[in-house]
Amino acid sequence: MEGLRWLQNLWLAGSRGGLLADDMGLGKTLQALAFIAWVAELMAAKQLPSKPVLIVAPVVLMENWKQEYLRFLQPVLGPVFELHGQRLKDFKNTGTARELGINKEIDIKEKEEAAELIRSGRGLLIDHQALQQLGIVLTTYETLRDYQFSFGLVEWSLMILDEAQKIKTPTAMVTTALKAMKYDFGLCLTGTPVENSLVDLWSIIDFVQPACLGTLENFRRRFHDPLAREGTDRAALGRELKTKIAGLLLRRTKEECLQGLPPLQEKLYTVEMPPEQLQKYIEVARSARQGLKGEPGGKGRQHIFQVIALLRDISLHPLLVYNEGLLADLPPARIINTSARVKKTIEILDQIAARGEKALIFIVSRRMQRLMQGVLRSRYGLDCAIINGEVSGGRRQQLVDAFQAATGFKALILSPEAAGVGLNITAANHVIHLSRLWNPAKEDQATNRVYRIGQDNQVYVHIPLAVHHLFGDGPGQGSFDQKLHRLLQAKRELSRAVLMPANVEEDEIFRLGEEVLASVPDVEAREPLTLEQLDRLEAGCLLNFMAAVYQRQGFRELALKPAPGHENLPLKLFHDPDGNPLLLYSKHTPEPSQALDERDIRAMLALEAGCRGEVGRQAVKVIATNAGAFTAAARAMAAARGIKLLAREDLAALLDQYNLTWGEVAVGCAV
């Protein structure tokens, strides 16, 4: 009601148009339909001249608009006329098209007599007089571009542009075609009025209220160009711009306005890279650093962009660097266990399956979409559909309808760009962003397929990140995933606060790349680990080394449940191949020459109290240390309590025997 009143007041005040930029899921379509009905009532009452209404939308939203119109307005206003694709034939002059040797009006520009054809009207392929007599017309951006001259001769009362970011590029043919139309009132609908650049907003407002923001050149100088300069107060600039267009813009968020929507919880998971993933990540980063030496500035910059693209793939799955034929033959367990993100995603899906709920999995890479589809089929027996740019609008809706109607655990794989708009999938209450876009606004659009009006259950947004403590996690540190997540969060917060672009810009990607390469230590993941390196690393690395030794021997690690405040105990619990328990305690010392005494034995026994549940009184207990020896008192206490002691000499023998590498041992450790 508030949105409708705002539109009515704009109309009555004589405004040329308005930008309805409500958050996804707040009913922009319904508000537009209600506004159409109001204008139709005025025309029926002879308070306005009778003119048709034109709705322009992406092709993937044609079915959605038709269904919403049928639901709300057909009984009142009569049928909607679809003018796109095969439905154009009822209005198209095919004889003229054949005579001129063109298929679309836009093809006229290739003719030598183009100007004469347009001026004389001989190049018109659509019966524009018939269009003038229609009530509600629904078409696509591409159709209007291709038949601009005929559409431009019709006097429209309302022009409604859905997903109006389609006209964000001022010089694009579709933009110039739309702005050449005759319309009394232009209504733009988009949840992302600033998608990539402030120029996006200028172009949309130029349709809504021409000249409101001045010329494009002046706008660039005042608002766009300063964003590239250091020291610019981006928030202040955004507030100034928002003030300029305040009367033409209505933007509301679900958090501010929507009552009764269930809570949304975002879950961020940091998952250690498996050895193969870590190895590939470090190899690429180290090779890139070598390749940058001696490179001139321009080539070096391009090199970093190429490396970032590769590390982005490896952070999703290290096997994406292989050809698809090889990937098709891999067992599902290998696919799952070599990627931190996929491994965590499967853990999340296991829990969702146990609860009988539904999930959307957003993946950018089509190769990864197909790989994940095979994993889900093998693990859960799911015939999991994929919705991406290869799927037509009608087929897309069929897949969504089937998913909505199905009962029990289901998953749907989607491209966040292809499925980020126009789909209502409230049967799912879990969203997994397996891969990330460079634009958090588009990521939020994808989430809003689920979190919108009609959702009755709490929504969970799962974001797994591939990390490794070798890269640190402080300011300027971290893995590619961590750095990108921080950058996306900062862009998201600024975009929501003021009108600022949400996408990650080229310079920001370049700086991210430099930071990623700098955060990788000079260590080869496949290098054999040495005892001297163990000395230099933190205590957790020694614990991981011993865990890797036992795993080589067929032991299985069990989960411990630490009490609050005891989460980082140097303690691990295993079962040997026969199911017998073994409790491992590691004691790392920066002074290997000093012997450990009986206090360390007592410390180990005290650690069991920090774990919830019974660790196991019958467990074999082992203390491993990089110290050179234990004191006589320590050995006596250990013997009395059945504790096995492993000192420096024992660790050296294990290193020789198992030849463990950095990639296997350095999980959870910092240099």
Both 505 and 604 in one domain: the answer is no
Q: Is 617 exposed, middle or buried (0-12, 13-18, 19+ CB in 10 A)?
A: exposed
Residue 541 inside a domain? The answer is: yes
* Residues whose CB is less than 8 angstroms from the CB of residue 393 and which lie 6 or more positions away in sequence, other chains included: 59, 60, 61, 62, 63
Residue 264, helix vs strand vs coil: strand
Q: Are residues 121 and 135 in the same domain?
A: no
- In a 3-state reduction of DSSP, which class is residue 357? coil
Span 47-92, pLDDT tens digits: 999 999 999 999 888 888 998 998 888 777 778 899 988 888 888 8
Give the pLDDT confidence score for residue 350 in this predicted structure.
96
440 or 119: which carries more pLDDT confidence? 440
Mean pLDDT of the region 167-183: 95
Q: State mean pLDDT over 308-313.
A: 92
| 524 within domain boundaries | no
Q: Does residue 526 fall inside a structural domain?
A: no
Residues ≥6 apart with Cβ < 8 Å to 290: none
**Each residue of 215-230: pLDDT tens digit?**
999 999 998 888 777 7
How far is it, in rounded angstroms, from Cα 671 to Cα 347? 29
Which residue range is the domain that position 560 belongs to?
531-665
Q: Are residues 105 and 159 in the same domain?
A: no
Domain boundary among 103, 125, 147: 125
Residues 167 and 188 placed together within one structural domain of the fold: yes
Residue 324's pLDDT is: 66
Let me know whether 619 and 497 are in one domain.
Answer: no
Domain contains 379: yes
Instruction: Please give the angle made by the CA atoms of 352, 354 and 355, to the nearest 5 degrees.
Output: 65
Confidence of residue 514 (pLDDT cuts 50, 70, 90): confident
H runs (alpha helix) in 160-296: 173-179, 198-208, 216-219, 234-244, 254-257, 275-292
Q: Which residue matches tokens 């962009």?
A: 305
Contacts of 1 (CB under 8 A, 6+ apart): none
Task: Write out pLDDT tens, residues 463-484.
Answer: 999 998 778 777 778 899 999 9
Report the alpha-carbon distance of residue 244 to residue 237 in Å, rounded: 11
Residue 302: pLDDT band (50, 70, 90) is: confident
Mean pLDDT of 36-43: 94
Residue 463 lies inside a defined structural domain of this protein: yes
Q: What totals of helices (H) and strands (E) does the chain contain, helices first?
A: 30, 20
The count of domains in the chain is 4
Task: Inform me whether the pLDDT recorded for 639 exceeds 50.
Answer: yes
Same domain, 490 and 543: no
Residues in the chain: 671
pLDDT at 525: 58
Residue 225 shares a structural domain with residue 164: yes
Give me the pLDDT at residue 573, please.
Answer: 85
Q: Answer yes or no: do 394 and 436 share one domain.
A: yes
The HSE-up count of residue 378 (CA atoms within 13 Å, CB side) is 16
Residue 670 has pLDDT above 50, yes or no: no
CA–CA dist 373, 669 (Å, integer): 34
Tell me: pLDDT of 668 over 50: no
Report DSSP letters for 437-502, one per residue: -S-HHHHHHHHTTTSSTT--S-EEEEEEEEE-GGG--STT-S-HHHHHHHHHHHHHHHHHHSS---
pLDDT in tens, 577-630: 988 888 888 888 878 888 999 988 888 777 766 665 555 567 888 999 999 999
pLDDT band at residue 24 using 50, 70 and 90 as cut-offs: confident
Q: Are 494 and 461 in contact (CB under 8 A)?
A: no
CATH number reported for the structural domain that contains residue 587 in this entry: 3.40.1350.10
- CA 352, 358, 362, 368 dihedral sign is positive
- Tell me which DSSP letter residue 200 carries: H
Could you tell me the CATH number of the domain that includes residue 71? 3.40.50.10810
| Contact between residue 159 and residue 463 where contact means Cβ atoms under 8 Å apart | no
Q: Give the end of a domain, one of 257, 289, 318.
A: 257
- Let me know whether 578 and 623 are in one domain: yes
pLDDT of residue 517: 86
Query: Is 671 inside a domain boundary?
Result: no
* 327/474 same-domain check: yes
Tell me the C-alpha distance between 421 and 57, whole Å.
11
Q: Is the dihedral of CA 281, 285, 286, 288 positive or negative?
A: positive
Give this prediction's pTM: 0.66
- Which of 224, 257, 290 terminates a domain? The answer is 257
**pLDDT classification of 671: cutoffs 50, 70, 90:** very low
- The answer to the question of residue 310 being in a domain is yes
Say whether 596 sits in a helix, a strand or coil.
strand
What is the pLDDT averaged over residues 425-449? 91
Distance CA(380)–CA(382), nearest Å, equals: 5
Q: What is the pLDDT of residue 253?
A: 82
Residue 394 has pLDDT above 80, yes or no: no
Query: Which residues are 441's β-sheet partners?
Result: none
pLDDT digits (tens, 9 = 90+) for 343-367: 999 999 999 999 999 999 999 999 9
Q: What is the CATH number of the domain that holds 314?
A: 3.40.50.300
Residues 487 and 539 both lie in one domain: no
Residue 205 domain-assigned? yes
Domain identity same for 62 and 139: yes
Residue partners of 179: CB distance under 8 A and separation at least 6: 167, 206, 207, 210
